[in-house]
Structures are given as structure tokens and as C-alpha cells.
Structure 1
């Protein structure tokens, strides 16, 4: 496929890199008004342009990774030169219905919520679409399956997906940072502490993905009676480890919904 990404910020660049690395049969174009910071993408075979319409007529999928206030201006620029295009929007708060009304019946609105781990083939990209556009959406689903996981969800959960999958990246990194700091306190230099903390989280996630079991089942494997693990877990829960994370996720969702 030919993939046209409008918006060369962190998310757009992450998707482009992921496609170039993990979905090599696809061709990618990324547009941005000022391309100086993304010219390095050309080394991966990615086309970079300041023109949002550059080669867009040949694109199979147009991906919007822009700010909500930019949507109308970008669509006014590209709609006169395209038709019968799948337009996958990663714009926060832009509903499928609203996007479809803007792009007209000759194009197909799909809603996506990737995260920046797409560049490592590790994004959790939630996807929503109207059932009547399911055939057109399959190309988008397949594309993002190459970049991690791509669960299809009800659109009403898209704001929640934004928090859990996109904001969740920051929440997970904050845990790793805290673990690293604790490692320094118990004797490691920061580089070693970070390496151990990050690899441990990666290993835990890979076990869950591979075995598809509840986290508590894996926790039980490393929690022995009267051992150090249960002592640490109990101390964390006493200070609200789980509840503070749940409250943080709910607070982020409340912010999105206004």
C-alpha cells in the first residue's frame, strides 16, 4: 500500500518509522510544514514533503496525525484532489460521524488511536469504523497489526483507549522511572538500574502477551510465602499503588471528556 501521513509530529513520525521497519512492502509519505526536523526519515526510504497533497492521489490510506484545530484547514486543502480514499484519523476527539460529514460520502472515515511505540512495532492501536466500511477498514487494521496490536473497539470507548494506550505509555514510563530511582537507593548506578527496570517490565509484558492469563496468575509465580516480593507488594498497596494508578487513568479520561 501507499500510505500518506499528514502531520510529522511525534506520532506521525513514529507510525512512519514503524511502517518502514516492520511493513516493508508499503510506501510512506509524511508531510509537515517545516520538514527540517524530519528529513532523517528519508534515510529509511520515506518521502518527506511540505505539501500535504504531494502524491496523495496515489495513496491507499491517508492518516491524519494533526491537532484538532488543524483538521478543517487540512481537509480543505486535500479534499479537492482526492476521492475514494480511506482517511484514518488519529485526531483526538474527532468522531467518525463528524469526520465522515467533513470528507463526504466519496471517502471513508476510520478512527485510530496508536501510540509512539509504533516505531518499535509495539503500539496498541485501537481502531473504530462503521460496519458498512469494514472492507475498507481491513487495510488499516492489517497495517497497524504490523506495528503491534490493533484491537477493534466500539467508538464510544475511543476516549478511554486514548488514556489507556496513549497516555498509558507515560504512566508505564513513570513506573520505570520510580523503579530506577529505587534501584539507585539500594546500590545500583542509574544506567544499570534503568536497564534492569526496563527489561523487567518488558519481560512481564511479554509473559502476559504470550500466555494470555490474568496478571495475578503470574504474580503468584514469583510471590512466595513470607518472601520479599509479598512484603514489597503489601507496602506498595498500603501507600495506594493500584488505587493511585486507577485514579490517574480516570482523571485523564475526565480531562478528555471535559
Structure 2
């Protein structure tokens, strides 16, 4: 990635080689954005970017492991060198810890018996990785006329919903890793929004819903395209759009 392209909307999506991330990348490309496909595996990232180009999009693969500071710094350098700015950052990369997030596969996340190393691993990606990537990209976002940051969260992050004994998550096993990491991500979203409000950066969290992906063995009842839509909506907000919010397809999600 060399040279510089002026006046082009540029979006970086982490974890974009498959699942919701790829769906987000596809929809942003369809909106005539240049999409940077962040992926830990260079081959898979390039395959996804190539598929976007075949479909008519402007896409490039960027090797990016959110837990590896060297790849984060290099990704920021590449964006700086080629484009000089970044308009949209979607922090989508995430891990569940248990491999899957369906109720029957979440026994190893029960708080009283959870493995602390697994909890640290989940937070390393879902929270600390978001801080690392966002901080590396903030200088580039500040150069955009309409900068947007979307953190991909989950309805399971809602303390209001999770604490309701008669609520939609009453049947789920308690989680000490995935759900708390997404709650922390929501809190982080508000803090970034408060800091960057003066710069015109709108920062929001998105809950895509129960989307059929590898993380739930494709048992989700929503399509990837439908789950990606709420993220894309937040990534393309107008200047009068919300910031420091948490939204799903249905609208605001309670904290």
C-alpha cells in the first residue's frame, strides 16, 4: 500500500475475513468506501479482499492481530502512507473464550469455576485489543470530515437485560468472560465518545443480534447481512447522529 489517495472514504474493519466482519466490509464497500479488511491471517484477509474486488468493491487486506502491537502499528502506518486519514473504524474482532456462545457450550465460563487464563485471553482481544487499535487510528480519524467508530458488542453485554430473572437471557448460563468483556467494551465506548466528542468523532456500540456465524455453530437465526446492517448504519451516521450509545436492530439497547 503506497502512494496516497485523496478525498476517498476509507473504512477499516477488524476481523473482517469472515462472519459479521466480512458482512460489514461487504456493505461498506457497496457504499463506495475503500474497505481495509483487517485479518490475523494474511491469506484469509487477501481472499476476502479479493472477493470484495470481484464484486466491484475497492478493498485491501491489512494484516492485523489486535493483540499484537507490532501489527497494529504497521496497519496504522499503512493507512497513513496510502490514505493519510481514516473515516470509519469498526472494532469487530472478538473471541468468545469457549469457542461458541450458545448456552450448551458455555459451561467453562461459569464465574465460580472459570479459568482465569481464558478470561484474560478474552479481555485481551475484546477490550485491550480495541484500545490498541483505536488509539493507533485516532490520529487518522481526526483528519476525517466525518469520523465514526463502531464497537461490535452484544445484547449479552446489557447489565439490565442480564440481571432480569424474567428477561430474555434468564436461560443462559452465567459468564465471567465473554459477556463481561462486552460490558467493559460498552463502558469503553462511552469513555471514547466523551473524549472524542469535541473532534466530531461519533463512537457507538452495536449489538448485531444472534447471527449465524462460526462462534455459535451457525445456530443463530439472523443472517450475516442483517446483523451487519446495524453496524453499517452507525458507521455512516450523519453529523447530527448519536454518540456514546448502544444500539441493536430494534433501536437503543439498555445498558
TM over 0.5: no
Larger Rg: 1
**Larger relative contact order (Cα-Cα within 8 Å, sequence gap ≥ 6):** 2
With the length of structure 1 as denominator, give the TM-score of the two structures: 0.43
Bigger helix fraction:
1
